[in-house]
Amino acid sequence: MNNLYVISGVTGMTGNELARQLLKQNDKIIGFDNFFASSIDTVRDLSGNEDFEFYEYDINNKEQMQSLKEKVRAKKGSYEQLIYINCAAVVHTEHFYHIERTFTTNVLGMKDFLDQAIELGADIYINCSTSEVYSMASWSEGGVKESDYLIMANAEHSQRTSYATGKLLTEFFMKDAVDKMLIKGCSIRFANVYSKNELYPKHIIPHILHSLAETNGEVVLLENSKKNKRTFLHNSDSCSAVIALVQSPDALDGTVYNVATEEEISIVDLVGLCAKYLGISDPKITFSGYRASDPERRLLNTEKIRSRTNWKPQVSLDLGIQQCVEALRR
Ligand SMILES: NC(=O)c1ccc[n+]([C@@H]2O[C@H](COP(=O)([O-])OP(=O)(O)OC[C@H]3O[C@@H](n4cnc5c(N)ncnc54)[C@H](O)[C@@H]3O)[C@@H](O)[C@H]2O)c1
C-alpha cells in the first residue's frame, strides 16, 4: 500500500518538488497553500493527477484546517502510513523582519498542523526548520553540528533573528511530541535551498542570474558579500532528504538533522560561476547596502543524516547553475 502525505505550503519551492518526487513513488498527496509566496503555476501541470489534491487554504484559518482534517480523515484508511510535512512558512529574507506574521505562521501554524497530525493518528511529522538557527555561529572546522550550542544574534542586533527563534521553537514542539510518543518525526535544518524554477528574485542565485542577464553583466551585491561564503542545496536534494528520513524509522526520534552540501563558495565566486554559464566573461560587481546579523559563512556538518539514512546530495552547484541558466533562457 502507498502512503498518504499531507503537505502544507505545497506550491512553494520545497513543497511542489516534494510532491513530484512522491507522485513518482505512487503516493497520494493532499496539499494546500495560501499563495503567500507562490502561485498555482508551480503545480498547474499536476492538476489532472488524481493522486494530487490541492486546496487554497491558509494554515492559520481554523475553518479551512478543520475542512482539511475531515478530508484527510476520510482518506487515511486506504493508505499504509499517514505522513504530515510542514513546508508552509513565512520564509524569505525581507519577511524575516515581520515578527507577527512570522510567529503566527511559522510557530502557531506549525503547532496547529502538528496537533492535527497527532489527532488523526498520523505516523510521521516532518518539520522544516532552518540553518538560520545557527545565526552568528554558522560555521566551524568540519561544519556546525546539530548538537552544538546555539549563539543567536539578539533583538538589539536585528529583528531578522525572529525567523530563526520561531523555527527553533518548532524544533522543541517536534521533540516534545516524539518524546511523549504521540507521533514519530524530526526537524530538518535546511541551508540555502535553490531551484531552477525559483520565483523569488531576492534570493541570491536568482538575483545574480537575473541581474547579469538583464544588464549584460552587472550585479549589485550587499557589502556583506565581499566576505560571505555559502553552500547551496538543490531542491531535488532537499526533497530527497525528506523522503530518506521518512523511510528511516530509527531516524524519526524527534531530533534535528542538518541538510546541506559541503560545497562552499564565496558570493563573489558565485557571480563568476553564474556569469560563466551565461557567457559573460567579465561581470561587474557593485557593493551597496549592509545586512545586520548576517553570518560570514554557513557551513553545516551533515554526518548525522548521512549516517542514519542513505541520503547524500546528488546535484553539484556547477550542474545546478547550468540548470538555472537553461531555465532562465526558456
Ligand atoms: N529555501 C531555503 O533556503 C530554506 C532554508 C531553510 C529552511 N527552509 C524552510 O523550508 C520550508 C519550505 O521553504 P521553501 O524554500 O519551499 O519556501 P517557499 O516560500 O517557496 O514555500 C513556503 C510556502 O508556504 C506558503 N505559505 C506561507 N504562509 C502560508 C500560510 N499561512 N498558509 C499556507 N501556506 C503558506 C507560501 O505561499 C509558500 O508557497 C520552510 O519551512 C522554510 O522555512 C527553507
Which has the closest alpha carbon to 59: 127, 107, 123?
107
Contact at 8 Å (CB) between 35 and 11?
Answer: yes
The reported pLDDT for the residue numbered 320 is: 97
- How many beta carbons lie within 10 A of that of residue 150, not counting itself? 13
Distance 284 CA to ligand 1 centre (A): 32
Dump pLDDT digits (tens) for 131-178: 999 999 999 999 999 999 999 888 888 888 889 999 999 999 999 999
40 lines ligand 1 (CB under 6 A): no
The whole-angstrom separation of Cα 140 and Cα 163 is: 22
- CB neighbour burial string for 26-37, b if at least 16 within 10 angstroms, e if fewer: ebbbbbbbbebb
For 102, list phi and psi in degrees, rounded to 5.
-65, -45
Q: Which residue has the cell 553583466?
A: 217
125 lines ligand 1 (CB under 6 A): no
Is residue 199 predicted with pLDDT exceeding 70? no
Nearest-10 crossing angle of helices 13-24, 235-246: 60
Dump pLDDT digits (tens) for 287-323: 999 988 889 999 999 999 999 999 999 999 999 999 9
3-class SS of residue 154: coil
Query: Cell numbers at residue 203, please?
Result: 534570493
Reported as type and span, the H/E element at residue 250 is none
Domains of the chain: 4-195+232-262+298-316 (3.40.50.720)
41 lines ligand 1 (CB under 6 A): no
The reported pLDDT for the residue numbered 153 is: 85
In angstroms, the Cα distances linking 41 to 55, 103, 201, 210 are 14, 27, 16, 20
Is residue 96 predicted with pLDDT exceeding 80? no
Contact at 8 Å (CB) between 130 and 71?
Answer: no
285 lines ligand 1 (CB under 6 A): no
pTM, full prediction: 0.96
Q: Whose CA is nearest to atom 21 of ligand 1?
A: 12
- How many beta carbons lie within 10 A of that of residue 234, not counting itself? 24
Mean pLDDT over residues 79-105, rounded? 89
Which has the closest alpha carbon to 263: 296, 229, 286?
229
Task: Give alpha helix (H) positions in the chain.
Answer: 13-24, 62-75, 99-102, 110-119, 161-179, 204-215, 235-246, 267-278, 303-308, 317-329
Distance 187 CA to ligand 1 centre (A): 14
Pocket perturbation via mutation, ligand 1, pick of 10, 68, 91 by most ligand atoms within 8 A of CB = 91
The reported pLDDT for the residue numbered 132 is: 93
Mean pLDDT over residues 72-88, rounded? 98
Q: Whose CA is nearest to atom 18 of ligand 1?
A: 12
